[in-house]
Amino acid sequence: MERSGLLIILSSPSGAGKSTLARRLMEWDPSLRFSVSATTRAPRPGEVHGQHYDFLGVEDFRALVDQGQMLEHAEVFGNYYGSPRQPVEAAMREGRDTLFDVDWQGGQQIRASALGAHVVSVFILPPSLIELERRLIARGQDSAEVIQGRMQKSLNEISHWAEYDYVLVNEDLDRATEELKTILTAERLRRDRQVGLGPFIRKLMAEEIGK
C-alpha cells in the first residue's frame, strides 16, 4: 500500500544506546535513510562530504535557514549544525522514512516544522543513572570530568521525556530493538499514513460479486 515517508526522531542521554538502536533499525530495514546533517565546521581527517556531513560555508548555511530549508539547527562551539529539509521531502515522496539522531532541542524544532505531522518521536531511557554512568566509563573515551559533565547533561535531557510519542527503557538491547521495530511497523500502518488506501477501498467496493 502506497504511503508517505515518516520522520523518525530518536533522542536519548549520551550512553543510553541511541546510536546502536539506530544502526540496528537500519540493518533491519535498509530502505531507511539516515539524515545527514549539514555543518559549517571544517572536515576532520577521513570525513567525506555527503556521507558524514554536508560541509557548507557560513553564508550558505544561514541562507538555507532564512529560506526555511533547515528542519532544525543549532550553533555549537561557534559552528552551525542542522538537518536539511530538501532530502527529507524527496525521501517522503518516495515513501521512504528518514531517521534523525538529535537531542531534545532538535526534536522540538523538527516537530514544530512544516513536516511535523509526519514525525514519530522516540525517547530512549537507561535502566538507571548508575548503569548509564557505567556504560560511559566502559567506553573508555572520556575523562572522569567529561563523564560527570555528560551525567549532568543527561538529567536535562531526561526531563524532556514527556514531549515524545514513545519512551523505551533500554535495559535489554535485543528487547529494545524489537520494541522499536514494533513502533515503526505500527506507525507505518496507521490509516492516515497510507495515502493509497482511499483509492484501494473505492476499487474494492466497486468490485462485482456473486457472479
Report if residue 159 sits inside a domain: yes
| Continuous H helices in the chain | 18-28, 58-66, 86-93, 104-111, 129-139, 144-158, 173-188, 197-206
Residue 124, φ and ψ in degrees, nearest 5: -105, 125
Report if residue 39 sits inside a domain: yes
Higher pLDDT, 167 or 17: 167
Report if residue 198 sits inside a domain: no
Structural domains counted in the chain:
1
Report if residue 199 sits inside a domain: no
Report if residue 52 sits inside a domain: yes
- Residue 58 CA to residue 117 CA, distance in Å, equals 30
Report if residue 182 sits inside a domain: yes
| Residue 156 lies in domain | 7-189
For the sheet with 98-101, list strands across it. Answer: 33-34, 98-101, 7-11, 119-125, 166-169
Query: The C-alpha cell of 95 is what?
Result: 515513501
Give the model confidence (pLDDT) of 164-209 as tens digits: 999 999 999 999 999 999 999 999 999 989 888 988 999 999 998 8
Q: State the pTM of this model.
A: 0.88
CATH of the domain at 116: 3.40.50.300
Report if residue 194 sits inside a domain: no
Query: Which of the four pLDDT bands, split at 50, 70 and 90, describes residue 131?
Result: very high
